A and B are shown apart, each in its own frame.
Chain A
Amino acid sequence: MEHIVIIGNGISGITAARHIRKNSDKKITVVSAETDYFFSRTALMYVYMGHMKFEHTQPYENWFWKKNRIDLVKGYVRTVDHQNKKLVLQDGNTIDYDKLIIATGSKPNKFGWPGQDLPGVQGLYSKQDLDQLEANAPDNKTCKRAVIVGGGLIGIEMAEMLLSRKIPVTFLVREDSFWNGVLPDGESQMINEHILEHHIDLRLGMNLKEILADENGQARAIVIAETGEEIACDVVGLTAGVSPNINFLKESGIELGRGVKVNPYLETNIPDIYAIGDCAEQHEGIGQRRPIEAVWYTGRMMGETVAQTICGNKIEYKPGHWFNSAKFLDLEYQTYGWVFARGPARKEFEQHFHWRDSKEKICVTIAFNEESKQFLGINTFGIRMRHEIFDRWLTEKRDVNYVLEYLKDANFDPEFYAQYESKIVSKFNSKFGTSISPKKKSWKRIFATSKTC
């Protein structure tokens, strides 16, 4: 029986394992160092905040693995010996494989800041990081202030976590507006306001110079590069992005860039070795995507795809239209298609229509082609949208007028919520001199061709 070994029990590795099991009778082993069972990394914050217990982050009950004959091995893979098709674990044990899937995820970036390895300084990626944070910042007496370095999605999650225990937070953001490499100005501005409303000490356009230690070698303060200001704190959160967790492969002969280099079939340069998820790097980004995509959904999709290939149905990794979502404190964010904040990704022809409610923190940005009027993508804050509808419109290459006319079909907010489509459309009309009137929502249209896509 062919033995498939997967390194990493995150979403990508586990999705691959599940789909291989569905489609075959192969022997499957998952090796991972972090936890006994698959858990949802995206939910780590909720454990610290007391919304859930750690066990709730595990999507499958513990009996699931045995029942589905997916063998779990807890251990750290030190080297991959592809000549002998063998893995060597930290404890000296070896595992033979016929096919190997590398799904080792990411690790937090550290940029060589002085003091970055002091006790009290940490990232937020793994279960161990969560436990560390629980030890470093159990309450606002032990941790009187925390400084978070890096204004991305994990940074703001970490700020929200600390706030839930009433710990004052200083938030150093390199950009001069929050996440404005990704978000257009109006949206980024709204998030800035929202962060301040939560009494987070937001420092835009500031970088970390160094972290200072006290006499016990514990982090006690940080220094800001731009101003030289020293901020006393007990915990420093480093959340300046992540990069592939592949150091153990340095000598393996597998081609590496920033991540494990793969072709569109998710194959590495070595036969029978594949890489998926955060750690995989495409030779060239697919469509407008980046070569490394460190998000949950792409990890899952690569897992779905590689399983087909391994089960004899060789198939290219061809993700469909881009989508993503996040939550900034109390604000939900969704995106479908591409809305680029600025160049070089944002091309000349990409025009934006931005609407923001006068009272609530709700806004929408729609990107479209200035000449052809083709709809390119949408960002929404505080309004949920229907994935299927936008996916369909993107495939059908609808123009922006059509999208606005039928916007109500796409609304996915809970029943009885206030509707904003009319306001959005009327602003669009007045801005572009159109006379679109929004159509009533229709079940018929919504479920028209919704078999799978």
Chain B
Amino acid sequence: MKTIKNIGLVIFLIGLGIFAALPLLGTYKINPSTLDEIVTKKRIKSEIFIEGLQKSIVGKEFQGMQSLSPLVGSAIENANTQHVKNKEYKKKIYTSASEMAALIGKKSGTGFMTNNKGLMWFLTFGFGIIGALMFIVPNVVLLGKKGIKNDGIYHENSTNKGWIAWLVFIFLVGFYLILYFKSEYAVNWTYLVDPISESLSGNPAGHWFVYGFMYCTVMTVMAVRMYIKYRHNVYQMIRTTSVLFFQIVFAFLIPEIMVRLQMPYYDFKNVFPLDYDFFFQWNLNSLLDSGGIGLFILVWGIVLTLVIVPVMVYFFGKRWYCSWVCGCGGLAETLGDPYRQHSSKSLFSWKIERWLIHGVLVFAVVMTGMTLYSFFAETGTVLGLKTQSIQNTYSLAIGSVFAGVIGTGFYPIFGNRVWCRFGCPLAAYLGFVQRFKSRFRITTNGGQCISCGNCSTYCEQGIDVRAYAQKGENIVRSSCVGCGICSAVCPRGVLKLENGPEQGRINPTEVLLGNDVDLMELVNKK
């Protein structure tokens, strides 16, 4: 069994290694027609840029994106400087260097990689999946009897912030940086999944398709790990199946198929304000231009945020979304599960959390207000602030850096819910409902708590669960996503996630059940 695991690990690392090397490999041969196509598609009017590229790249071959990308960048820069100098603003190119390089790269790849997409897929994704499963599945036997299996978590390098954790951290952060800011280096990855993308939407894959596909793959493999680790816990099994289903079907398949059917790309479960650009002008326009389905999506999106979400939170708590449906939550609950113990439980972190997450919510709401005002008033500025630049700031700082780079990249160091806990505006909104108007609570079982701290340690949202449990008090916290792990790891059966009557849900107690009834009456009534 151990051997299978080790072989699996090696295979996985080979797959990962190839995947990680791909951005810098490959051959790009630029045909004149490629440039023409892009010029037409992007409506480029800058002859300086076109001539520049014709000289520097057309007809040539490049080894690796790192030799091609800088030339594209300097061509754009050169052209733009000239045009600004000559006040030819219409000719200025607004496409970013990365995007331009990615466009050119995608059309110019040649050689082994582009001719053997299937094989390359197998060597990367295939090896990754097979290796990871070989590493994970033997645990069915190795973990022994079913039950809580947290042995050695704080002895293992990878789960105790050792060098492996830091490597994972660097890898994840690097991956997100490429995805958000240097997408030309993802071109080779897109080749791997072209066949899959073409069979779904009919289009070749872009880097977001790579991300979506990878997301689903990683979640599926890590869900297998969850099934094995928590096989005694039916709640975990069902919940894991649910997040997996919503990710694969709603976030991945349906939007791609909608594109094939000439409909707008839309994830029906992505709720505003997490889906922060739902009310952006381009999206509204695209929805309004898409006829019946566009209108339906518009109404659905609004009803979802204003009615469905709060009503569901009233009945089930925010867990129905955050740990049963949401994609960010889904990744956190699968890929992130080995790191859940790293979320800080200090009061200080809780303070930061409340400032940050509510700050982001305010930011999102204000930005959307400006956006809508601009849309209906047909103006670009509100109170002297440019709507566009506010939107850009949000997209960059919150949408990309916070949700992506920090939110996922920091898993191995700060725990698996950094984004959900500190940043997600939807979580903040659901949190209000959960805290003030909901049937959901984690019930504490009378006086049974022994203050051991397992629940707090494994709370991914950094809630000091024990602080409530040892007082015999139910846990009613806006940040709780109802993952159910505290209940699972409690060795004394103290915690139960429940949807019950609102009355008595919050029950501050000083003297716990089990002591003198008169004393309890006296002290707790005060």
Is the C-beta of A452 less than 8 angstroms from some C-beta in chain B? Answer: yes
Interface segment, A83-91, A102-110, A124-132, A322-330?
A322-330
Is the C-beta of A98 less than 8 angstroms from some C-beta in chain B? Answer: no
Cα(A373)–Cα(B156), bound, Å: 54
Is the C-beta of B448 less than 8 angstroms from some C-beta in chain A? Answer: yes
The reply to whether B452 and A42 contact each other, CB–CB distance below 8 Å, is yes
Is the C-beta of A432 less than 8 angstroms from some C-beta in chain B? Answer: no
The reply to whether B453 and A320 contact each other, CB–CB distance below 8 Å, is no
Interface segment, A206-214, A240-248, A399-407, A443-451?
A443-451
Is the C-beta of B119 less than 8 angstroms from some C-beta in chain A? Answer: no
The reply to whether A50 and B151 contact each other, CB–CB distance below 8 Å, is yes
- Complex interface bits, B133-164 against A, C-beta within 8 A gives 1, otherwise 0: 00000000000111110111111100000000
Known: A43-B452, A52-B454. A416 touches B516 (CB 8 A): no
Cα(A450)–Cα(B522), bound, Å: 15
Is the C-beta of B450 less than 8 angstroms from some C-beta in chain A? Answer: yes
The reply to whether A447 and B511 contact each other, CB–CB distance below 8 Å, is no
| Chain B residues with CB below 8 A from A414, complex form | 233-235, 484, 487-488, 496-497
Nearest to B467 among chain A residues (CB) is A59
Cα(A387)–Cα(B93), bound, Å: 70
Is the C-beta of B466 less than 8 angstroms from some C-beta in chain A? Answer: yes
The reply to whether A391 and B513 contact each other, CB–CB distance below 8 Å, is yes
B: contact size bracket: 35 or more
| Chain A residues with CB below 8 A from B470, complex form | 59
Cα(A385)–Cα(B346), bound, Å: 31
Distance to closest chain A CB from B309 (angstroms) = 21
Nearest to A391 among chain B residues (CB) is B513
- Complex interface bits, A162-185 against B, C-beta within 8 A gives 1, otherwise 0: 001000000000000000000000
Distance to closest chain B CB from A324 (angstroms) = 9
Nearest to A385 among chain B residues (CB) is B493
Nearest to A446 among chain B residues (CB) is B500
Partner of B235, one of A56, A57, A164, A416: A416
Is the C-beta of B204 less than 8 angstroms from some C-beta in chain A? Answer: no
The reply to whether A40 and B451 contact each other, CB–CB distance below 8 Å, is yes
- Complex interface bits, B481-515 against A, C-beta within 8 A gives 1, otherwise 0: 00010011101110011101101100001111111
Cα(A12)–Cα(B504), bound, Å: 28
Distance to closest chain B CB from A417 (angstroms) = 6
Distance to closest chain B CB from A453 (angstroms) = 5
Cα(A46)–Cα(B489), bound, Å: 11
The reply to whether A416 and B445 contact each other, CB–CB distance below 8 Å, is no
Partner of B446, one of A313, A327, A387: A387
Is the C-beta of A332 less than 8 angstroms from some C-beta in chain B? Answer: yes
Distance to closest chain B CB from A439 (angstroms) = 17
| Chain A residues with CB below 8 A from B510, complex form | 19, 22, 304
Is the C-beta of A61 less than 8 angstroms from some C-beta in chain B? Answer: yes
The reply to whether B234 and A40 contact each other, CB–CB distance below 8 Å, is no
Main secondary structure of the interface of B (DSSP, over half): loop
The reply to whether B152 and A319 contact each other, CB–CB distance below 8 Å, is no
| Chain B residues with CB below 8 A from A301, complex form | 512, 514-516
Is the C-beta of B519 less than 8 angstroms from some C-beta in chain A? Answer: yes
| Chain B residues with CB below 8 A from A443, complex form | 500-501
Known: A59-B466, A412-B496. A300 touches B512 (CB 8 A): yes
Cα(A48)–Cα(B178), bound, Å: 41
The reply to whether A418 and B234 contact each other, CB–CB distance below 8 Å, is yes
The reply to whether A305 and B519 contact each other, CB–CB distance below 8 Å, is yes
The reply to whether B453 and A40 contact each other, CB–CB distance below 8 Å, is yes
List which A352-403 residues lie within 8 A (CB) of chain B.
Answer: 384-388, 391, 395
The reply to whether A330 and B515 contact each other, CB–CB distance below 8 Å, is no
Cα(A133)–Cα(B513), bound, Å: 35
Distance to closest chain A CB from B110 (angstroms) = 51
Partner of B516, one of A42, A320, A450: A320
Partner of B154, one of A53, A332, A417: A53
Of A304, A334, A417, most buried by chain B (CB within 10 Å of CB) is A304
Known: A323-B448, A387-B445. A51 touches B493 (CB 8 A): no
| Chain A residues with CB below 8 A from B347, complex form | 61
Cα(A401)–Cα(B98), bound, Å: 75
Cα(A51)–Cα(B497), bound, Å: 22
Is the C-beta of A315 less than 8 angstroms from some C-beta in chain B? Answer: yes
Of B456, B470, B489, B514, most buried by chain A (CB within 10 Å of CB) is B514
Nearest to B512 among chain A residues (CB) is A300
Cα(A208)–Cα(B517), bound, Å: 44
Taking A326-B492, A453-B517 as known contacts, 16 extra A-B pairs with beta carbons closer than 8 A to each other, sorted by chain A number, are A11-B451, A43-B452, A43-B453, A43-B454, A51-B150, A61-B346, A164-B152, A297-B447, A304-B515, A323-B446, A329-B145, A330-B146, A414-B497, A452-B513, A452-B520, A452-B524
Q: List 16 A-B contacts (CB under 8 A).
A: A22-B510, A50-B153, A52-B454, A53-B154, A57-B452, A305-B516, A321-B514, A327-B491, A387-B446, A388-B445, A391-B513, A443-B500, A443-B501, A452-B509, A453-B513, A453-B517
Nearest first, the 6 A-B pairs at minimum CB distance are A387-B446, A330-B147, A384-B493, A43-B452, A318-B516, A50-B152
